[in-house]
Amino acid sequence: IAQREHIEVLAKELAATNERQETLIHFIGHEVKGFLTKDAGAFAALSDGDFGELPEALKPFVEHALTESRNGARSVTDLLTASNQKKGTMSYTKEPFDLKQLAAEAVEKARAAAEKKGLVLSFTADDSSYQMTGDKVQISDHVLRNLIENSINYTPSGSISVSLKKDPSTGLGAGKFVFAVKDSGVGITEEDKKRLFTEGGHGKDSQKVNAHSTGYGLYIAKSVALAHGGTIRAESEGEGKGSTFIVEL
């Protein structure tokens, strides 16, 4: 009995220590994100010429610093979001919005990054109504944009096709919206498929292709999709044969 009580005391102390550490990490994360966001804002102002025309020799440095600051802020955001979801403290704001408009905006925001790599980025959707209710920001940032940017990061050359359609079936699942991102990129091995959508899950060689990957992007995307009663999955014929990520909402 004494040994069991001792173990229970140790377990409570460990839980309290973990909670303090999580609180500290959250605080540090928010602070770092704030600094990176401010840096990105400053570099964006310089890049946009708000303080006058930049010397040609300085432009590449500012553009690189802006990209790195934004990547850093995005990485910290992913870690904080994943932590909130794991603890069950993630909140969602429900409001009506047009999914097709949101998808089109996500594609346009990613177009510059795709063109910089010489990739062809396209978007297709029919004339159906795509009105739905949910957290517009979470779906846009952590599902739509995340999947598109992932495809850009893992596609060295070729194309990325983004599509939105309505499930035409009349049975179970009828009326679902199907958002898909198909690329001609590095593909997914059977081994890596097991790690997809898991917390901190990386493919075996994923960081060689995308050094900024935190391993939390797809985990967050899945959590957001599930919170909206949806599903998310990945299809690939294997390494070097491209991938298709499919979200049903």
Residue-wise pLDDT tens digits, 97-116: 999 999 999 999 999 999 99
Q: What is the pTM of this model?
A: 0.69
Structural contact between residues 234 and 244, judged by C-beta atoms closer than 8 angstroms: yes
Q: What's the rounded mean pLDDT across residues 52-77?
A: 79
Split at pLDDT 50, 70, 90, the class of 58 is confident
2-17 confidence digits (pLDDT tens) = 778 778 878 888 877 7
Structural contact between residues 150 and 195, judged by C-beta atoms closer than 8 angstroms: no
Taking the CA atoms of 134, 136, 137 and 140 in sequence, report the sign of the dihedral they define.
positive
- Beta-carbon neighbour count of residue 177 at 10 Å? 21
Q: 35 pLDDT exceeds 90? A: no
| pLDDT more than 70, % of the chain | 80
First-to-final CA distance of the chain? 52
Task: Tell the residue number behind the tokens 């959590």, with chain if given.
Answer: 223
Nearest to 179 by CA among 194, 193, 164: 164
